[in-house]
Structure 1
Amino acid sequence: MGTFITCAVTGGADTVSRHPRIPVTPKEIADAAISAAKAGAAIVHLHARDPKTGQQSRDPELFTEIVSLIRDSDTDVIINVSCGMAGDLILTDTPETQPAGAGTDLLGPRGRLQHLDRLCRDPRLKPEICTLDCGSMNFGDGDLVYLAPATYLRPMAQHIRSLGIKPELEVFELGHLAFVQKMSAEGLLDGAPLIQFCLGIPGGAPAEPFILDAFKQLAPTGSVWSAFAIGRDELRFVSLAAGQGGNVRVGLEDNLYLEKGVFADNDTLVERAVGLIRGMGGSVMNAADTRQKLGLDRAH
């Protein structure tokens, strides 16, 4: 059927000081998503940022404004909202007396989905996909630990299913994929699982071809999978994933450069991915075909 492209347009990392055109305001994020869709992305993956600070925000009203602007544009694109927030534990250098430090942001399972509940109040704004990070992990070799234990993931998966949203299951290492297998066996996932292989993140699985192969082998039978790698490996993994029958993700969340010394934009990264896929003899799926492949209903 071809390859679908997801564009992760802004992310939550502190990249505003490292790139002159990181989308920050709801309008900038929505405009970036629309441009990415016009360039060939079937799916846009959305975070929100505080317009004053540029830092990641989980304010439901910011998500509402972003999604509303995209819907108002009449751009046919699948919206995929991040739920990878409120799991940050920042450790201190005095763990015996005060383990959690400044910057820690932890909520329970339902608290992490508040913005989904807000969006679903209006059928027009309901996202078709949301992410579910399928395990805890160290981020880098510093003091940040992302916490997503099984006791959180099961109720989150149940609530996402109750909202009629398809989870994109984010796996950063093989243990996360093993838990996807477990959730699938327990009946927590409707239809074919949609899995995103996240490679090259410090603390997670490295961006190596044999890792991609291992992830493929462990994925539940019948899964639809996509893959991305960060930084300079991003475009290399477009070719690797598409060449192995998978789907791909690009965008400024994962990589800031089109080539060495040349800042990218979301639409230029999508255009480059389109060129790579077509150059291999493949075809790029639009939003309508991707909905059909994923079994999504567009209710708006």
Structure 2
Amino acid sequence: MPRNVILTCALTGAGDTAGRNEHVPVTPEEIAADAIAAARAGASIVHIHVRDPQTTLGSREVAHYREAVRLIRESDVDPVINLTAGMGGDLVVDPQQPTRQLPGTDLVSGLDRLPHVEELRPEICTIDCGTLNFGEGSDVYVSTPDMLREGAAAIQRMGVTPEMEIFDTGHLWFANVLVSEGLIDPPPLYQLCMGIPYGAPADPRLLQTMVDMLPEGAEFTSFSLGRNQLPWVARSVLAGGHARVGLEDNLYLSKGVKATNAALTERAVSIIEDLGHQVATPDEAREILDLTVQTSTAATGA
């Protein structure tokens, strides 16, 4: 049956990708311009990381978020804004001396990952629902149950909707605990992140298993990386969910053809429409996710 599918464009991420594709936005102005272009191409939601303009690497600098969000909000489009709250969880350990932190570590408390959310009050922010061995080497993403409960409670008080990032089945288990404990307001929003080493493999059978684990009334999006990104749009929609594309997860439109955020969004819109569905407008996405109530509560300070 035809339905409105929410399409997210994840604009830039925090990975060391700017040197691999010149279209990866780096400055707040570039990130905002890509958000606006993606919205014009059909994105319902724009998911935002920021980067240090000098190093091009991921940043937690509130001023960069402030400028990017200002430019989007002052534009002629009105996408739902989703800010990452995942920065500050990176631990690189010395395998010979595990108590020693190596360069690349950026590890702060759960609450210290939220000052930009506190100030800017986006409609959505992410919360990464567990610790993960992140790829090869000794990189660990740290997100403990205590951090998650404290962070979820703070996000709830702000009136912001959390998008729970699920990198493995245990993360989904704990996200469901957060829902059962009342720390996540309905409808709960899950992002099933597939194919990220070493989390949940990009296996359609596993996707269906994870979908079957979701609580009643949940909304979910799923994505995969690289060459799997665009085919996974169809997999996620056929599984009953929403979709995500963008340069955070994939740098190519096709073999040898470097992508832009707008081009990936346009391709995803075509896939969704070819499946017989429509891409939700930002306001339709707000209605599906009940964001109007959350935004109103945040504005009144309730």
Choose from 21, 24, 39 the match for 1:22: 24
Query: Is 2:145 the counterpart of 1:150?
Result: yes
Residue 112 of structure 1 is matched in structure 2 by 113
Q: Distance in 1 between matches of 2:269 and 2:116?
A: 31
One-letter code aligned to 2:167: F
Q: Distance in 2 between matches of 1:158 and 1:113?
A: 12
Choose from 58, 64, 67 the match for 1:65: 67
Aligned-pair CA distance for 1:93: 3.5
3-state SS in 2 of match to 1:210: helix
Q: Distance in 2 between matches of 1:288 and 1:192?
A: 16
3-state SS in 2 of match to 1:16: coil
Superposed CA RMSD in Å reads 1.1
Q: Distance in 2 between matches of 1:279 and 1:238?
A: 11
Q: Distance in 2 between matches of 1:2 and 1:112?
A: 32
Residue 206 of structure 1 is matched in structure 2 by 201
Choose from 47, 60, 81 the match for 1:79: 81
3-state SS in 2 of match to 1:227: strand
One-letter code aligned to 1:7: C
Residue 283 of structure 2 is matched in structure 1 by 288
CA contact (8 A) 2:72 2:78 kept: no
- TM-score (norm. length: structure 2): 0.95
Residue 38 of structure 1 is matched in structure 2 by 40
**Aligned pairs (5 A) from 1:242-261:** 242-261=237-256
Q: Distance in 2 between matches of 1:24 and 1:141?
A: 25
Query: Is 2:162 the counterpart of 1:183?
Result: no
**What is the count of residue pairs matched by the alignment?**
293
Residue 123 of structure 1 is matched in structure 2 by none
- TM-score (norm. length: structure 1): 0.95
Q: What is the percentage of aligned positions where both structures have the same residue?
A: 46
3-state SS in 1 of match to 2:81: strand
Aligned-pair CA distance for 1:51: 0.8
Structure 2: which 5+ residue stretches go unaligned? none
CA contact (8 A) 2:13 2:247 kept: yes
3-state SS in 2 of match to 1:80: strand
Moved more, 249-258 or 181-190: 181-190
Q: Runs of at least 4 residues of structure 1 off by over 6 A?
A: none
Q: Distance in 2 between matches of 1:88 and 1:7?
A: 23
CA contact (8 A) 2:211 2:239 kept: no
3-state SS in 2 of match to 1:17: coil
Residue 210 of structure 2 is matched in structure 1 by 215
Structure 1: which 5+ residue stretches go unaligned? 120-125
One-letter code aligned to 1:281: G
Residue 232 of structure 2 is matched in structure 1 by 237
Aligned-pair CA distance for 1:91: 1.1
Residue 136 of structure 1 is matched in structure 2 by 131
